[in-house]
Structure 1
Amino acid sequence: MTGGLYRSAHAADGDPPPGDGATLISIDDEPVPGAGAAQDQALPPQDPPAPSEPGGSDEGSGTTGQSAIMAIGTMVSRLIGFVRNMLIGMTLGAGIGDAYTSAYFLPSQLYELLLGGILSSVLIPLLVRRRQVEPDRGQAYTQKLLTFAVVSLGVATALVVLAAPVITLIQSGNAPGDYRDLVTALAYLMLPIIFFTGLSGLIAAVLNVRGHFAAPMWAPILNNLVVIATCGIFIVTFGTAKGLDPADMTPGRIALIGGGTLLGMITQAAGLLPALRRVGFRWKWWWDPRGLGLGEIGRLAGWMLCYVTANQIAVFVVVNLLSRVSGKTGASVLAFNNVYLLTMMAHGIIGVSVMTALLPKMSAAAAEGRFADVSADLSRGIRLTAAALAPIAVVYGVLGTPIAVFLFQGGAYLPRTAYATGDVLAVAAFAVMPLSISYLCTYAFYSLKGNKTVALINLPVVGLRIAAYLVFFVVLPQSLAAAGMTFGNALSYVLSALISLAVLRRRIGRLDLGSMVAGLAKVLAAALAAALVGWLIVGLLPGGDTPDRTEAFVRLAVGGAAIMITYLVAATMLRVREVGQVVGTVRRKLGR
């Protein structure tokens, strides 16, 4: 139920592979009232590769080894992806970078509508089921599915590319003409990404079903490296786009940056092909749509399509509105996306880790009718997530400008754009915890097989999000438009969490809301103390509201340390036991 851009809405909702988020936080330190012995039993990996299959077992691929490889891959991928975004901003700057970002979102949005929304929720379970029950372990069905999907994606991608001017008109129709023309020119080069994203996702699904997670985790690094190299070639060849308007982008500049981005996704898809052979899968062309059970796929995909469509409408709205202020004072699409990336990074490291640990337990408990255990796990997960994310939210709120200056300023990313990005990041502090809590509730519904409920809850949530976008765009100055959109996201996350908790209470019974609220109140009190100390200390440091990079680094080092220490001390005094649990987990891992 996200409102962000860098990752399409459903991309964050799919069940993450074990180890996503790098460090799994232990959630077993607190006993569950009334829980049986089964509560600590996690579900085994789905359908691990059979030893008899050629290449079906990766060398040294135990669960621990796979988790370690994926954890390292996740962190390296996130780091390199962040460097990629930094370089795009420094290379292209705000105005042209906004147009690039708008064009880059189009294939992601349309891919979600065509395939992404049903891949993890429908196609992967079908592949798992066929692999378990069919004599050939699903080889024929997988070949038929890949053949049909490749043909369908190819046709859809061709039609979308032909319709590029119409699509960009919908997304940024009220933007200046030169800006819209640049988005359209870039879209012609980037929309084919849809096909290769789909191909990459399908290959990753085949690998995951066969117990191979490492290649899909590492392949995006190839993509990021290609785009980073493209930025380097752009700077060497043309210099940065500092001082250029969209009308100044020559065909050569457009071809390089747009073509390099497409080449990155092609490289990612190609990088997965060797892994298919390693797990023993041979891709043969097999055209047999009737043998796929398309009716079953359609029925299962209906509610997920509803969910994804609502989210993508919201993305179209926010890009359209922010495109109108591109190149003017303040933050626009590029800055909004950079901030969303930071928000999702915090969620990925903390929230996804908790979800990864909780989902198997909640699913097992739900399957056995132990709803009290589902409720206890959800309550514990919310308290733990809030306790771990609170200091990060404070850092974003108090140190938004130093973070933006240190990470993004340089080249064509001018200081005024970095300062505006910092303002947006300060507002995003209010979205960090609600985002992860709303996701935890969504995963609780997944454990109860409540995809329909998730889709229905998402409708008023997206409705509020779009309404907030429109209201804030009208009432706020253009310089604060991106900050207003970010606050609209935060409001929608809060609504999502509240509705989800109310529905879950009706479905699984008592949620122990008293304990949850009491725990959250202590966390907020500790966070407020940390924010006050951090604000006072940062106010004494040089730089004011417009620090340079050195001053920003000093503020980050000193202010960040003060915030973290104050939060830990305050949380300990308030007896926030979840903080001790997180610290204990980190200490145990460091001890190893």
Structure 2
Amino acid sequence: MNLWKTTGTIGGLTMVSRILGFAREMIFARVMGAGMAADAFYLAFLIPNLFRRLFGEGAFSSGFVPLFSQRLNGEGGMDEAKRFAEEVLAVFLPILAVVTFIFMIFMPAFVGLLASGWSDEPAKFELAVKLTTITFPYLIFISLVSLFSGVLNSLTRFTAAAFAPALLNIALIGALLIVPDGGPKTAQAMAIGVIAGGIMQLALCWGSVRRAGLKMRLRPPRMTPRVKELMILILPATLGGGIYYISQFFYAWFATRLPEGSLVYLGFADRLNQLPLAIIGSALGTAILPTISRAVDRGENGEAARIQSQATELSMLLTLPAAVALAVTAGPIVAALFQGGRFSAEDASTTALVLSIIVAGLPAYVLIKVLTPGFYSRKDMKTPVVIAFAMLFIGIVFNFLLIPLMGIAALAFTTATSAWLNALALYFILRRRGHFKIEWWLWGRIIRQLVAAAVMAVVLYLIREQLDGFFAGSVSQRLIGVTALVSAGGIVYFAVAWTIGAMNKDDLLILLKRKKVG
């Protein structure tokens, strides 16, 4: 598998979804602002999304994919892999249904626990409960999407799974345009749009699996040895892979105790932060896990380490400039994208502050995606769990200490700090076990990438000062200014990186030409 080409394919399709996501957020900001209904919807969308990432992505990207790949490449081939997927689906679907049913019954208590800061705002609390009750069944649809995506990724068919999130954004944009009054009615329309988006995503991935030759049928639920093996992997993998999202429940709890709009500010900042993380980190993690698993199964530990080295180089080449650029240009970017309508200049300023802090952890977030396959491919789910829980505890303690001093900025700071501690712990354990070590050639590349990013930061700062009038002007002027910043930053970074040897030039040519060279 060509890692650069595969990452480019997944990342490109993810970019389509992210662009639509930005369009959704831009419309949301202007229609909804950062008021009561906007906060309530963000909480209602956050809860099933976090459960989806916890149960769906956490389990199937780290536990299901290696086991499915083993059977696909083993003696039984496609038939054995298909049977395994059917057995998992037969057990997984009833569990999802029961979990959803229980949460919908006790939704007022659950929202009350998570958003206890809204207890003195009855209208806001009731709206949050209503919206979350509507959106929570999304968990069923999107978790099944994760299962089918795992099958497709193991078959190296990445297109449908990478594009599926775009359908959710299309559904939400439609809801905003159909009901644009900006109050509870719009929030309810968006909640219904979440369910519609989940159904469309499931239909796309299910149809793609059938076209790939796996016409899966629903079996009676039975805890077979194969399903038990997966469950043993899922329980710690769910916590380990989704610990970041578990932490978001705690951060939501803290955010409901901050001024109104805090959930919206955090959501918009995280949207910008997640763009490079999704395009680079998720694409790399998706691409390398099956490949590393096959190398480990064949006993080719050197090949597994080589893949992780290549992924580390690529991730740093792309995330270091993204983090620096977002930090330097946070104000202009947020103003250009979100300011307008019901979203004021003060709202944009607070969002920019959060963004400039949280992106400090961006390279670490992507490194975690690159390093964890080194554990999961060897069936070690425990170590990432222990590390992740330790980081969660540290983050919670930091928040209790820092929020009284820093306000909303403390949430961004602790998120970035915890990510770096997590990434460093994963790396040093892999190195101590002899599974992966950053060689001197790779250290040299990373140092040169930092130099290129520093040069870019200086250029961006100077350009930002010269274009200050654009960023205080109309929406079109702000967009022109941001376009100039992004273009100049990209040109300067890659020109310097190319000149000083911060990248493998042959690999870059492969990515640009989308074909193998020499």
Shorter-chain TM-score: what band?
A: 0.7 to 0.9
- Which residue of 157, 168, 172 maps to 2:115? 172
- Write the distance in 2 (CA, Å) between the matches of 1:125 and 1:462: 27
Please report how far the alpha carbon of residue 370 of structure 1 lies from its aligned counterpart in structure 2 after TM superposition: 5.3
Does residue 280 of structure 2 align to residue 350 of structure 1? yes
Match of 1:484 in 2: 410
Letter in 2 for 1:179: K
Distance in 1 (CA, whole Å) between partners of 2:4 and 2:263 is 26
Unaligned 5+ segments in structure 1 are 1-17, 26-66, 242-248
Task: Select 2:402's aligned residue among 472, 485, 490.
Answer: 472
Please give the alpha-carbon distance, in whole angstroms, between the structure 1 residues aligned to 2:33 and 2:232.
45
Q: Percent identical across equivalent pairs?
A: 24
Alignment partner of 1:450: what SS?
Answer: coil
The alignment partner of 1:94 has SS state of coil
List per-residue Cα deviations over 1:385-436 (Å, max 9, x = no partner).
3233332222212211111122222333233212222222222331222222
Q: Partner letter of residue 473 of structure 1? A: I
Which of 79, 97, 100 is the aligned partner of 1:157?
A: 100
More deviation, 427-436/98-107: 427-436
Match of 1:101 among 21, 42, 52: 42
Q: Quick check: 2:175–2:186 contact (8 Å CA) kept in 1? A: no
Aligned to 1:577: 502
Higher helix share: 2
Which deviates the most, 396-405 or 432-441?
432-441
TM-score for both structures, normalised by structure 2: 0.86
User: 1:505, 1:429 → 2: CA distance?
Assistant: 26
Distance of 1:301 and 1:396 partners within structure 2: 35
What residue number does 1:82 align with? 22
Distance 1:152 1:354 in 2: 30
Provide the C-alpha distance between the structure 1 equivalents of 2:231 and 2:47, rounded to a whole number of angstroms: 24
Counterpart in the other structure of 2:384: 454
Specify which of 560, 569, 572 is matched with residue 486 of structure 2: 560
Deviation of the 1:22 alpha carbon: 7.8
| Length-normalised TM-score, structure 1 | 0.76
How far is 1:337 from its partner? 2.1
Cα distance change on mapping 1:377 and 1:425 into 2, 3 Å: same
Identify the residue that residue 253 of structure 2 maps to in structure 1: 320
Provide closer, same or farther for how the CA distance between residues 359 and 126 of structure 1 changes in structure 2, counting only shifts above 3 A.
Answer: closer
Q: 1:19 to 1:74 in 2, by over 3 A?
A: farther
Taking structure 1 as reference, are residues 292 and 227 closer, same or farther at Cα in structure 2, changes over 3 Å only?
A: farther
Superposition deviation, residue 256 in structure 1? 2.3
Query: What displacement does 1:310 show?
Result: 3.8
Q: Aligned equivalents of 1:20 and 1:182: distance in 2?
A: 46
2: CA distance, partners of 1:24 / 1:273: 23
Q: Does 1:299 align with 2:232?
A: yes
SS at match of 2:220: coil
Which residue type is aligned with residue 563 of structure 1? G
2:16 aligned partner, one-letter code: V
Show the counterpart of 2:513: 588
The answer to whether structure 1 residue 223 and structure 2 residue 164 are counterparts is no
List aligned pairs for 1:257-272, cutoff 5 A. 257-272=190-205
Q: CA-atom RMSD, angstroms?
A: 3.4
Q: Residue 468 of structure 2 aligns with which residue?
A: 542
- Tell me, what secondary structure is at the counterpart of 2:93? helix
Offset of 1:495 from its aligned partner? 0.9
Q: How does 1:327-338 map to 2 (within 5 A)?
A: 327=260, 332-338=262-268
Greater Cα shift, 515-524 or 131-140? 131-140
Distance 1:569 1:226, change over 3 A: closer
Unaligned runs of 5+ in 2: none
- Superposed, 1:153-552 pairs within 5 Å as 153-175=96-118, 176-177=120-121, 178-208=123-153, 212-235=157-180, 239-241=181-183, 249=184, 252-282=185-215, 284-291=217-224, 293-308=226-241, 310-327=243-260, 332-355=262-285, 359=289, 362-363=292-293, 366-367=296-297, 371=301, 374-375=304-305, 377-476=307-406, 478=407, 481=408, 483-508=409-434, 511-512=437-438, 514-543=440-469, 546=472, 548-552=474-478
Q: For 1:72 and 1:309, locate their aligned partners in 2 and report how far apart those are by CA, in whole Å.
A: 24
Per the alignment, do residues 429 and 275 of structure 1 end up closer, same or farther by CA in structure 2, a change over 3 Å counting?
closer
- Letter in structure 2 aligned against 1:522: R
Relative to 1, partners in 2 of residues 1:423 and 1:275: Cα closer, same or farther, differing over 3 Å? same
| Contact 1:94–1:326 (8 Å) recurs in 2 | no
Verify: 1:147 aligned to 2:90, yes or no: yes
Question: Residues of 2 paired with 1:102 and 1:338: CA distance?
Answer: 13
- 8 Å contact kept, 1:226–1:260: yes
- 1:262–1:368 CA distance, 2 compared to 1 (3 A): closer
CA distance in 1, matches of 2:84, 2:302: 39
Compute the displacement of 1:201 (Å): 2.8
Work out the CA distance in 2 between the residues paired with 1:111 and 1:337.
17
Please tell me whether the aligned partners of residues 399 and 555 of structure 1 are also in contact (alpha carbons under 8 angstroms): no
SS in 2 for 1:543: helix
Counterpart amino acid of residue 189 in structure 2 = L
Query: Within 5 Å, which residues of 2 pair with 1:31-46?
Result: none
- For residues 509 and 205 of structure 1, the distance between their equivalents in structure 2, rounded to whole angstroms, comes to 25
How far apart, CA to CA, are the structure 2 residues paired with 1:357 and 1:101?
Answer: 31
Give the deviation of 1:458 after TM superposition.
1.7
Counterpart contact for 1:21–1:71, Cα < 8 Å: no
Alignment CA distance shift 1:116-1:325 (3 Å): same
Tell me the SS of whatever aligns to 1:174.
helix
Q: For residues 390 and 119 of structure 1, do their structure 2 counterparts lie closer, same or farther at Cα, with a shift above 3 Å needed?
A: closer
User: Which is greater in Rg?
Assistant: 1
Select between 536-545 and 430-439 the one with higher mean Cα deviation: 536-545
Task: Give the conservation status (yes or no) of the 8 Å contact 2:269–2:351.
Answer: yes
For residues 2 and 343 of structure 2, the distance between their equivalents in structure 1, rounded to whole angstroms, comes to 34
Distance 1:120 1:401 in 2: 35
